[in-house]
Chains A and B, each alone.
Chain A
Amino acid sequence: MSTENTEPTPAARLFASDLSVVNVGLALFDADIAAQGAQVSTLDWTPPGGGNADAVRALDALERAGVAERIEAANAEAVERVMAARPMLVGFDRALDVVPGMTPTTILHSGPPIAWEDMNGPMKGAVTGAIVFEGLAKDLEEAAEVAASGRITFKPCHEADSVGSMAGVTSASMYVHIVRNETHGNTAFTNLSEQMAKILRMGANDQSVIDRLVWMRDVFGPMLKEAVEFTGPVDLRLLLSQALHMGDECHNRNGAGTLLLFQALAPGLLRSSFTTEQKKEVFDFVASSDYFSGPTWMAMAKAALDAANGVADSTVVTTMARNGVEFGIRVAGLPGQWFTGPAQRVVGPMFAGYKPEDSGLDIGDSAITETYGFGGFAMSAAPAIVALVGGTVADAMGYTRDMGEITTARNPNVTIPALDFQGIPTGIDVRKVIDTGILPVINTAIAHREAGIGMIGAGITHPPAEAFTKAATALAAALA
């Protein structure tokens, strides 16, 4: 005896179920549907590419059959590289000795390329401070002349395997982290946290700032270098993962990460050749700000993301970086090209005495953290700082969920407890950003718009949609 066992059709299933509507576009239908007792969820919908016709045209080209499959495969490969990367902190050293292409007159800066005369206040402040620090000028005034003279080689950190927070200004004798990606063999660099608020990277450049840089060059950096020689390489992805479990998002909140990193380095610091007094200075300095490990996570992310550069056909973003004037992105499938748009305002709480109009525009390479999948993308790991986004813990969860919509994968190595240990959203896909109209969210600090002052607040910002439209257009031209 045979029994008929046919699967009900989708129509039959619909008729037999409670209606549950996804409402797209007209909110006025929402109330009518709800009033009839049906489930309805109205989307917070935005047109693809912010309604930009070029963006939609590019997207259509990238979605064509044949092209789409190639991109899918390439993106899977790119994101696999990022997730498989194992960045290890292998040492600290002077930039001149380790950063590729560094010369005594090279100054690295954050973001896409920019000429001296186009730099904003904080970056000019940092550049002139660095020139004084390097002994290339006797004072800030002369430093400005040197900067304008053409004798200085300006270059984005990103084009020297480096990243730099805020102004990102890195000169020859500054000490840098050396982070080696054990899986793929590439290396990334970033300078050391200056802690505090009135610091070079934020555009401050008075004698106290220079004095601190000198101490960092002579004591802090060398002691860190010796420390890692004793401890051996430190597995940064492991520490990052632990820090997220402890409530950091490792861009604007670094309390746990700093404790973990310091815990790893402390035995080496103690065994270093410096005096007890100097060791105490270093311990106090690390304790003075949770930001100590902030740059470390940036270099970690850079080392991982660089492994995806050059994966042909991939639309995965490998760089998001700002120079205070422009926001630039780079894409795995189009290595070496920058796609830019204007740097945006950062919105968030400010230190007393400062107003939003005092803010410099979004600046720094630190969005490399969001590019990897933490920072603003992992907001739900750091409920303690939801005030930064002006909201609630539920809002924080929403940020991570939204970022899931524009990324390629969930990184199983770095997870978020509050989301049932879901991995962080990894591999921003230019196509998805255009398609959903959702822009990456970036947690960041706010520098005063004028040179010499420093940090005045923190908050969130987004890249300009324009950068993604340009990238999509170039990808469409190259791939489709």
Chain B
Amino acid sequence: MSTTTAVVRKNTYFDSVSLMSVSTKANGLDGVEQAFTAMGTEMNKGVLENLGLLTDELRAAESGDLMIVVVAADGSDTEALLAEVEDLLTRKAPASAGAAEVTYRTVASAAAGIEGANLAVIAVNGAYAAREARKALESGLHVMMFSDNVAVEDEIALKNLAHDKGLFMMGPDCGTAIINNVALCFGNKVRPGSVGIVAASGTGSQEVSVRVHALGGGVSQLIGTGGRDLSERVGGIMMVDGIRALAADPATDVIVLVSKPPAASVEKKVLAEVAAAGKPVVVWFIDGSEEAVTAAGGHFAADSLQAARKAVELAGITGPAVEEFDAGAAAAEVVARLAEGQKYVRGLFCGGTLCDETMYAVRDAGLDVWSNIQKDPGFRLPAGSASRGHTFLDFGDDDFTNGRPHPMIDPALRIERIVEEAGDPEVAAIVLDFVLGFGSHEDPVGTTLPALREARRIAREAGRHLEIVAYVLGTDLDTPSVVAQSDALRAAGVTVTLSSTETGRFAREIAKKAQA
């Protein structure tokens, strides 16, 4: 049998909406079959009458009196329930946390509502990204667009709009920028300094910024352009504007350009800016040629390490002596331990430019290289196919990331592949990169170590030495730091290289010697 308790609190006023809300909460209390809190108005008494709960006491309540009715389930403590209901009535709202945090729904309202808002990071589905970017630019915000799968027509329109407004349109598909010493999306914690970077390549620019830092230099700004900026159609709009902005920036002494080689017409345009910059410009066009750069008065860099070294030198910084990795000697030691038939290097990368740099280093030794990002279609290896010869895979490329997070965030796919490659008796060495910093996995080495141990076990049990080479892209200021991650790798028997460029050299020496 349930029991009904009705109480009338004379001359106690609550507004009807609060009371309905309390009723709703009270009905959720354990042991309550039904609860009702309301002022003693005719309307409320009518509702109680319909429910068969109107007692004489309640009937006598007036509109300034509070009625509390609790129908308690069998065995419940009615008095305790009544007390709980009264507690709901007196409960105070949580103390206001000062200025309430405002959540905006649209770019335009955030731009209007936040004083000093100056940049939008756009990482929505590519189908909607252009629309959001346009709104950001129209609201006077610079844009960094992480989204990809944006039509080239949209990219051109957005970049023209940005250019007309004097704003940056970094991207689409721009993963790295450092603005005012704040790394955006994927970036490393580097010292503030006088080297300004404009880059069409995410991991390429991360590598340069990290090397500049390691050499004692610092970064003023790192402006991303998105990978398609220097194509014929887009015409390098963002790179040109980026160079001009850094040329005008008093905090920037040296400019570094990072990109795959531009389309010919765009290269001409970019090099004209190099000539007009009025400050030294170091140009690293990955796998590019020296002649035109030098002719334009630029400082040609053949690789990322050279780009960083030249930049730091031109900025007049004498940094700490940096340890060098003797690729030739180290490779000789490795090859001495290899079994018959272990001939090939397999590179499994998260960073596209890191993959490029090592792949080209091996190719430049006259060896055939296979890759999912090979320019030569004859040597292209789609995702899902087995490795052959010297293979270099970019797990960050679209055909691997389709529908899953970038390997810098989720290394699962590469982890599987490491174990797979270890079982191949033709494999002499596996080369890996680990990218630290903002945006990246919180412990990329730690999450990969079990697979590395497994790979070495497989090789050992087959009577082979498997060389595992790893480069950790990061700084001592990153979390986790490059030091801790490198130490963990060394402790697991991994050879740790000290730059992307050295990684390429080491891979090349191993490939040459193993295949010889």
Contacts and interface: CB of A to CB of B under 8 A. Distances in A.
A5 interface: no
B283 to A, nearest CB: 21
A350 B20 contact: yes
Contact of B121 (A10, A21, A36): A21
Contacts of B116: 17-18, 20, 39
Interface string A453-478: 00001100000000000000000000
A65 to B, nearest CB: 12
A20 B117 contact: yes
Interface string B21-50: 101100100000011111001110011001
Contacts of A43: 103-107, 110
A100 interface: no
Interface string A254-283: 000000000000000000000000000000
Interface in A385-435: 385, 387-388, 390, 392, 394, 397-398, 401-402, 404-405, 435
A29 B184 contact: yes
A14 B105 contact: no
A7 B241 CA distance: 17
Contacts of B244: 11
A23 B121 contact: yes
Contacts of B249: 11-12, 15
A444 B181 CA distance: 50
B166 A436 contact: no
B21 to A, nearest CB: 4
B20 A15 contact: no
A39 to B, nearest CB: 7
Contacts of B104: 22, 41, 43-44
B110 A41 contact: yes
Interface in A1-55: 9-15, 17-26, 28-29, 32-33, 35-39, 41-48
A28 B406 CA distance: 13
B439 to A, nearest CB: 6
B173 to A, nearest CB: 14
Given A10-B167, A43-B107, A288-B42, A36 B183 contact: yes
Nearest to A255: B15
Given A12-B245, A12-B249, A22-B120, A388 B182 contact: no
Contacts of B245: 9, 11-12, 15
A436 B43 CA distance: 41
Contact of A22 (B41, B51, B107, B251): B107
Interface stretch (B141-149, B296-304, B340-348, B487-495): B141-149
B450 to A, nearest CB: 25
Tell which of B21, B42, B140, B167 has the most Cβ of chain A within 10 Å. Answer: B21
Contact of A385 (B17, B36, B51): B17
Contacts of A24: 107, 120-124, 132, 136
A17 B118 CA distance: 9
A385 B182 CA distance: 43
Interface in B349-376: none
A197 B48 CA distance: 12
A240 to B, nearest CB: 20
A62 B141 CA distance: 24
Chain B at the A interface: SS class: mixed
B168 A18 contact: no
Nearest to B168: A11
A353 to B, nearest CB: 5
B289 interface: no
Contacts of A42: 103
A345 interface: no
Contact of A29 (B123, B140, B241): B123
B239 interface: no
Contacts of B152: none
B168 A22 contact: no
B248 A10 contact: no
A131 to B, nearest CB: 24
A152 B111 CA distance: 55
A32 B147 contact: no
A352 B105 contact: no
Nearest to A397: B100
A45 B180 contact: no
Given A9-B245, A21-B119, A39 B20 contact: no
A252 interface: yes
A353 B54 CA distance: 13
Tell which of A20, A390, A392 has the most Cβ of chain B within 10 Å. Answer: A20
A22 B110 contact: yes
A384 B141 CA distance: 38
Contacts of A289: 41, 43
B183 A32 contact: yes
Tell which of A13, A25, A394, A405 has the most Cβ of chain B within 10 Å. Answer: A25
Contacts of A19: 118-119, 179-180, 182
Given A43-B105, A385-B17, A288 B41 contact: yes
A188 to B, nearest CB: 28
Contacts of B18: 384, 387
B185 interface: yes
A61 B437 CA distance: 42
Nearest to A208: B46
A400 B465 CA distance: 68
Contacts of A28: 439
A195 interface: yes
B122 A288 contact: no
A33 B182 contact: yes
A14 B179 contact: yes
Given A9-B166, A351-B20, A352-B51, A29 B109 contact: no
Tell which of A32, A44, A353, A404 has the most Cβ of chain B within 10 Å. Answer: A353
A468 to B, nearest CB: 16
Contacts of B20: 348-351, 387, 457-458
A253 B17 contact: yes
Interface in B47-103: 47, 50-51, 69, 93, 96, 100, 102-103
A148 interface: no
Contact of B21 (A35, A56, A349): A349
A48 B121 contact: no
B166 A11 contact: yes
A238 interface: no
A48 B439 contact: no
A48 B35 CA distance: 42
Interface of B: 15, 17-18, 20-21, 23-24, 27, 34-38, 41-43, 46-47, 50-51, 69, 93, 96, 100, 102-111, 114, 116-125, 127-128, 131-132, 136, 140-142, 146-147, 165-168, 179-185, 189, 221, 241, 244-245, 248-249, 251, 438-439
Interface of A: 9-15, 17-26, 28-29, 32-33, 35-39, 41-48, 56, 195-198, 252-253, 288-289, 348-353, 384-385, 387-388, 390, 392, 394, 397-398, 401-402, 404-405, 435-438, 457-458
24 contacts: A11-B241, A11-B244, A12-B245, A15-B180, A15-B221, A19-B118, A21-B120, A21-B182, A32-B439, A37-B182, A38-B180, A47-B128, A196-B43, A288-B41, A352-B27, A352-B36, A352-B69, A353-B51, A384-B17, A384-B18, A385-B15, A392-B93, A401-B109, A438-B106
Closest 5 CB pairs of A and B: A352-B36, A349-B20, A25-B124, A25-B123, A387-B21
